[in-house]
Amino acid sequence: MAPTLVAHVVADAGAFLKKAPLQEIGSTIYTLKDVVDEIRDKPTRRSLAFLPYQLTFREPHPEHIRHGHPSGTRCRTLAHTDPERIRHVTEFSKKTGDYPSLSATDIKVLALTYQLELEHVGSKHLKKEPEVKVNVHSTQRHPETPVNVAGFFLPSREKKSSESVGVRQKFPDGDPFNSFQFWRPALPTVDKELLQLLDPLEVSDPKEMSSDSFNTFNSFQFWRPPLASIDSLMHLLVRNLDDVSSSDQRSDEDKENEPEEEEDDDEEDEEEEEEEGDGGWITPGNIKQVKMDSSDWTAPADVTVGCLTTDFAMQNVLIQIGLHVLSVNGMLIKQARNYILRCHACFKTTSNMSRLFCPHCGNRTLKKIAVTVSADGNTQMHFSKNPKVLNSKGLRHSLPMPQGGKHGNNPQLVEDQRFPQQRLSRKARQKTNVFDPDFVSGASPFSQNDIYSRAANLQIRDGQGGGGRRRANPNAAHKKFVKKN
């Protein structure tokens, strides 16, 4: 049976890097010019020059409709995508928590897939808002909190006064504080029955022990049996040799008397056993079926539009919107991955992925973790085993002194911290336009550029409002190896 081809397939950079057989997956292959520009390695770019299928380019903006492409690549350019699709995909990815992991090219690929789905299928099955699959409520006491630790008293909040009033501990006669029973229970008394069992036993006086008992105690035979003599060992050796020789003679006689038919039967039985043992092996013939059974893949039946990508963030957004996601081998991916933010200081969780500070304790200790939801609605958080997830990198330098003024540059320590507006100077905001009816000539009719103010030295441009640090942060994580063009 021939595999079912998807009518329209949008290919990401991962499809070309993995050398996916797109001609066997879809009928019409779409991609972006930015996707091809992302590919840097020479073998992949060389393979793009000789494709066995026609590659269709779609650009998201009108000014980028017709651009150059790799020489030799068969392609054609169609109408551009609607900017509304890009805006919708961007807002949707922010709600799912995958927006920080997506690049501008990834969002364009998502928008192109969304537009093709609207053109060829419709919008009835597409979702405007992501489903709230994760609803985690943190408990009052964390399960890792130690209970009944020596030296600590952890009382419960709810106490019943009726139980505490009128209850007094009765101590035995004597001074209870100085007695041994004050801080531990009393030792058990000797039972009478135990004494009765010990009465019949005769206890011998060590002074009355005979010389034979002393010799037995000091001898080597007291704690292990005596060693065998040389004569007994020789007798055992001769007996074993006789048994081995007789058994060898019997086996030789049996082999000579066996007919040839039994040998043929043994060979047939061995072949049948080998054939039965091959049932559990993975062979090139059943590798595709094994992958489908052991994963969340299915054959793409009745799929009109699909996106072939290897990016987990893109796959999550596509599946939650209602679009089809294809793997490199042409299978349909069904399950998505959800994420939440968990504070490793107070162990609270939140599903708002746009937060930087914990809504409960206010610290900047939120970490992104994966969550899976079962069929009955139970959630399971998956923590990373990598110890670098909670590393202290970026905290080795002390905080700088707070700066004041119109262009203060301070680190953000709390969520409601106020920042300067970083406005341009008055001289930089002046515009020289002699044709303006409100133009007022100054000392010079020529335009002037502000190069001496603090705003100019900080390279603040017009329309760059808002606070935050814009200079190099010594605590920020940097890439060690960056390839310079």
Residue stretches of the annotated binding site: 343, 346, 358, 361
Q: Where are the alpha helices (DSSP H) in 12-170?
A: 13-17, 33-38, 42-48, 83-96, 104-120, 161-164
**DSSP characters over 293-361:** HTTTEE--TT--EEEE---HHHHHHHHHHT-EEE-TTSPEE----EEEEEETTT--EES-TT-SS-TTT
Residue 338: burial class (beta carbons within 10 Å; 0-12, 13-18, 19+): buried
Pairing between strand 338-343 and 349-350?
antiparallel
Phi/psi at 341 (5° precision):
-105, 130
Q: Where are the alpha helices (DSSP H) in 204-284?
A: 211-218, 230-257, 260-277
Distance of CA 80 to the CA centre of its chain: 36
Q: What whole-number distance in Å separates Cα of residue 314 and Cα of residue 93?
A: 9
* Burial class of 94 by CB neighbour count within 10 A (0 to 12, 13 to 18, 19+): middle
Distance CA 292, CA 299 (A): 8
Beta-strand pair 26-31/324-326: unpaired
Q: Give one DSSP letter per residue of 109-141, joined into a string.
A: HHHHHHHHHHHHT-SSS--SS----------SS
- Residue 196 is given by DSSP the state H
Please name which of 97, 87, 38, 2 lies closest in space to residue 309, comparing C-alpha atoms.
38
Angle at alpha carbon of residue 89, lines to 83 and 94, rounded to 5°: 130
Tell me if residue 105 falls in helix, strand or coil.
helix
Cα 400 to chain centroid, rounded: 35
Q: Residues at the annotated binding site for Zn(2+)?
A: 343, 346, 358, 361
Residues 6 or more apart whose Cβ sits within 8 Å of residue 395? 475
For residue 28, give the 3-state DSSP assignment.
strand
Please name which of 3, 6, 20, 101 lies closest in space to residue 324, comparing C-alpha atoms: 6
- Residue 423: DSSP 8-state: P
Residues 6+ apart with CB under 8 A from 154: 147, 148
Neighbours of 146 (CB within 10 A): 8
